[in-house]
Amino acid sequence: MGAGHAHTLYVHEHSPVHRLPPETKVLSAFLFVAAVAVTPREAIWAFGAYAGIEAALVGFSRVPARFVLSRLIAVAPFILFALFLPFIGEGKDVELLGISLSSEGTWAMWNILAKATLGATASILLAATTEVPEIVKGFGRLRVPPVITAIASFMIRYLEVVAEELGRMRTAMTARGYDPRWLSQARPIASSAGTLFVRSYERGERVYDAMLSRGYTGVMPVIDSRTASAQDWAVALMFPLLAAATATIAFVTL
Amino acid sequence: MSNALTVTDLHYAYPDGQVALKGVSFTVKPGEKVALLGPNGAGKTTLAHHLNGIRRSDRGRVEVEDLVLEDSNLAEIRKKVGLVFQNPDDQLFMPTVRDDVAFGPANLGITGEHLDGVIARALADVGAQDLQTRVPHHLSGGERRRVALATVLAMSPSILVLDEPTSGLDPAGRRELIGVLESLGMAQLVITHDLPFALELCDRTLIMDAGRIVADGPTREVLEDEALLRKHRLELPYRI
Amino acid sequence: MHAPDGFLTAGTAVATGAISVGTVSVALKQAKEQMSEKIVPLAGVTAAFIFAAQMFNFPVAAGTTGHLLGGALAAILLGPHIGALVVTIVVVVQALAFADGGLTALGYNVLNMAVIPAYGGFAVYSGFRKLLPKSKGGVIAATGLAAGISVVLAAAAFSIQWLFGASAPVPFDTVFGAMVGIHILIGIGEGLISALTVGAVLASRPDLVFGARDLDPAQLQESGKVPLRAFIIGGLAVTLLVATVVSQFAVDNPDGLEFVAEDTGFISSAQEHSLGGSIFADYATSGINNETLSLAIAGIAGVLITLAVGYGLFRAIRPRERVPV
Contact A204 C263 (CB under 8 A): no
Chain A partners (3+ C-beta pairs within 8 A) = B, C
Report d(CA A112, CA A117) in Å as an integer.
8
In this prediction, residues C122-132 reach a mean pLDDT of 93
* pLDDT band at residue C236 under the 50/70/90 scheme: low
Size of interface A-B (CB pairs under 8 A): 77
Structure letter (DSSP) for residue A130: S
Identity of the amino acid at A145: P
Q: Sorting pLDDT into bands at 50, 70 and 90, what band is A182? A: confident
**Chain-chain contact of C41 with A181 (C-beta, under 8 angstroms):** no
Largest CA distance in chain A: 75
Contacts of residue C94 in chain A, CB cutoff 8 Å?
A: 3
Cα separation, C68 vs C191, whole angstroms: 9
User: For residue B43, is pLDDT > 90?
Assistant: yes
State the nearest Cα–Cα gap between B29 and chain A, in angstroms.
Answer: 22
pLDDT, average across residues C265-272: 31
Find out whether A46 and A243 touch, Cβ atoms under 8 Å. no
Whether the pLDDT of residue A5 is over 60: the answer is no
In terms of Cβ atoms closer than 10 Å to its own Cβ (0-12, 13-18, 19+), residue A188 is middle
Q: Using 50, 70 and 90 to split pLDDT, how confident is the model at A24?
A: very high
* Per-residue confidence (pLDDT) for residue B165, from 0 to 100: 95
Minimal Cβ distance to A181: which of C41, C62, C95: C62
| Residue among B52, B90, B94, B101 with most chain A CBs within 10 A, to mutate | B90
For A210, the closest of B93, B95, B106 (CB atoms) is B93
Residue A60 at interface with chain C, using a CB cutoff of 8 Å: no
Selecting from C5, C59, C198 the residue whose C-beta is nearest the C-beta of A182 gives C59
Cβ–Cβ gap A224/B99 under 8 Å: yes
Interface of C with A in 197-236 (CB under 8 A): 197-201, 203-205, 208, 228-229, 232
- How confident is the model at residue A188, as a pLDDT? 81
Can you tell me the mean pLDDT for B1-20? 91
Which is nearest to C43 in space by CA: B135, A4, A150, B89? A150
Residue B214: exposure state from Cβ atoms within 10 A (0-12, 13-18, ≥19): middle
Mean pLDDT of A162-168: 89
Q: Which of 245-274 (C) contact A at CB < 8 A?
A: 259, 262-263, 265-269
The reply to whether residue C196 touches residue A191, judged by beta carbons under 8 angstroms, is yes
User: What pLDDT is attached to residue C231?
Assistant: 60
C277 confidence band (pLDDT: 50, 70, 90): very low
Q: Is residue B63 over pLDDT 90? A: yes
Mean pLDDT of B63-76: 93
User: Between C57, C103, C318, which is nearest A122 by CB?
Assistant: C103
CA distance A160 to chain B (A): 8
Distance (Å) from the alpha carbon of A100 to chain B's nearest alpha carbon: 56
pLDDT at residue C310, as a whole number: 45
**Any idea which of A185-189, C152-156, C238-242, C316-320 has the lowest mean pLDDT?**
C316-320
pLDDT value at residue C324: 41
- What average pLDDT does range B219-239 have in this prediction? 89
pLDDT, residue A171, reads 86
Task: Tell whether the model's pLDDT for residue C243 goes beyond 80.
Answer: no
Residue of A nearest to C60 (CA): A183
On chain C, the residues whose CB falls within 8 A of the CB of A80 are 266, 317
User: What are the tens digits of pLDDT across the range B151-167?
Assistant: 999 999 999 999 999 99
Return the pLDDT at A242. Answer: 96
Least confident of C46-60, C282-296, C311-325: C311-325
Neighbours of C224 (CB within 10 A): 11
Contacts of A207 in chain B (CB under 8 A): 90, 93
Burial class (CB in 10 A: 0-12, 13-18, 19+), A57: buried
The subunits that touch chain B, with at least 3 C-beta pairs less than 8 Å apart, are A
The answer to whether A216 contacts B155, with C-beta atoms less than 8 Å apart, is no
Angle at A126 between CA A164 and CA A71, to 5 degrees: 65
Structure confidence at residue C307 as a pLDDT band (50, 70, 90): low
pLDDT top residue among C234 and B163: B163
Percentage of residues in chain C having pLDDT higher than 70: 65
Contact C268 A84 (CB under 8 A): yes
Confidence class for position A47, pLDDT limits 50, 70, 90: very high
Contacts of A215 in chain B (CB under 8 A): 75, 78-79, 104, 107-108, 155
| A158 touching chain C per CB within 8 A | yes
pLDDT at A111 over 70: yes
B87-128 pLDDT, tens per residue?
A: 999 999 999 999 999 999 999 999 989 999 999 999 999 999
Rounded to an integer, the average pLDDT of A150-169 is 91
CB contact under 8 A, B78 and A215: yes
Chain C residues 106-145 with a CB less than 8 Å from chain A: none
CA neighbours closer than 13 Å in the CB half-sphere of residue C88 = 30
For all residues of chain C together, what is the average pLDDT? 76
Q: Which residue has the higher pLDDT, B237 or C205?
A: C205
User: Other C-beta atoms within 10 Å of A95: how many?
Assistant: 9
Q: Is A218 on the interface with B (CB under 8 A)?
A: no
A217, B151: Cβ pair inside 8 Å? Answer: no
- In total, the C-beta contacts within 8 angstroms joining chain A to chain C are 329
Q: Is it the case that residue C77 has pLDDT exceeding 90?
A: yes
- Which residues of chain A make contact with C205, given a CB cutoff of 8 A? 198, 201
> Is residue A232 pLDDT above 90, yes or no?
yes
Q: Are A151 and C89 in contact (CB under 8 A)?
A: yes
Q: Which pLDDT score, from 0 to 100, does residue A71 have? A: 87
The reported pLDDT for the residue numbered A81 is 82
pLDDT bracket for residue C14 (50, 70, 90):
very high
Please state which of the ranges B148-157, B202-211, C168-177, C229-238 shows the lowest mean pLDDT.
C229-238
Q: What is the 3-state secondary structure (H, E, C) of A44-84?
A: HHHHHHHHHHHHHHHHHHCCCHHHHHHHHHHHHHHHHHHHH
Q: How long is chain C?
A: 325
- Secondary structure (H, E, C), chain C: CCCCCCCECHHHHHHHHHHHHHHHHHHHHHHHHHHHHHHHHHHHHHHHHHHHHCCCEEECCCCCEEECCCHHHHHHHHCHHHHHHHHHHHHHHHHHHHCCCCCCCHHHHHHHHHHHHHHHHHHHHHHHHHHCCCCHHHHHHHHHHHHHHHHHHHHHHHHHHHHHHECCCCCHHHHHHHHHHHHHHHHHHHHHHHHHHHHHHHHHCHHHCHHHCCCCHHHHHCCCCCCHHHHHHHHHHHHHHHHHHHHHHHHCCHHHHHHHHHCCCCCCCHHHHHHHCCCCHHHCCCCCCCHHHHHHHHHHHHHHHHHHHHHHHHHHHCCCCCCCC
Mean pLDDT (chain A) is 88
The answer to whether C112 and C67 are in contact (CB under 8 A) is no
Closest residue, chain C, to A111 (C-alpha):
C6
* Contact yes or no for B107 and A161 at CB 8 A: no
What was the pLDDT predicted at B193? 93
What does the pLDDT read at residue B65?
93
Are C195 and C141 in contact by the 8 Å Cβ rule? The answer is yes
The percentage of chain B sitting over the pLDDT mark of 70, rounded to a whole number, equals 99
**pLDDT for res C292:** 54
Give the one of B49, B94, B103 whose C-beta lies nearest to A209's C-beta: B49
d(CA C194, CA C201): 11
B93 CA to centre of own chain: 18
Q: What is the mean pLDDT of residues C7-30?
A: 94
- Burial of residue C101 (CB within 10 Å: 0-12, 13-18, 19+) is buried
Residue-level pLDDT at C267: 31
Distance CA A226, CA A143 (A): 14
Chain C, residues 84-103, CB within 8 A of chain A, namely 85-86, 89-90, 92-100, 102-103
Q: What is the CA radius of gyration of chain B?
A: 18
* Range of lowest pLDDT (A39-48, B215-224, C108-117, C158-167): C158-167
Answer for the pair C169, A89: CB distance below 8 angstroms, yes or no: yes
Confidence band (pLDDT; 50, 70, 90) for B48? very high
Residue B179 burial (CB count, 10 A): 11
Contact criterion met (CB below 8 Å) for A185 and C59: yes
Any C CB within 8 A of A238 CB: no
Give the C-alpha separation, A9 to C100, whole Å. Answer: 11
Q: The pTM is what?
A: 0.84
Note the ipTM here. 0.93
CA–CA min distance A203, chain B (Å) = 7
CA distances from B147 to B33, B88, B166, B192, B198 (A): 20, 8, 14, 19, 21
State which amino acid sits at residue C11.
Answer: G
Cβ distance of A185 and C59 shorter than 8 Å: yes
C neighbour chains, 3+ CB pairs within 8 Å: A
pLDDT of C257: 30
Q: What percent of chain C has pLDDT over 90?
A: 39
Measured CA distances, B54 to B83, B137, C45, C83 (Å): 10, 25, 20, 27
Q: What is the pLDDT of residues C148-159, one digit of tens each?
A: 999 999 999 999
Lowest mean pLDDT: which of A83-97, B163-177, C177-191, C250-264? Answer: C250-264
Contacts of C169 in chain A (CB under 8 A): 85, 89-91, 102, 104-105, 108
Average of per-residue pLDDT across B195-222: 95
Determine contact, residues C36/A150, Cβ cutoff 8 Å. Answer: no
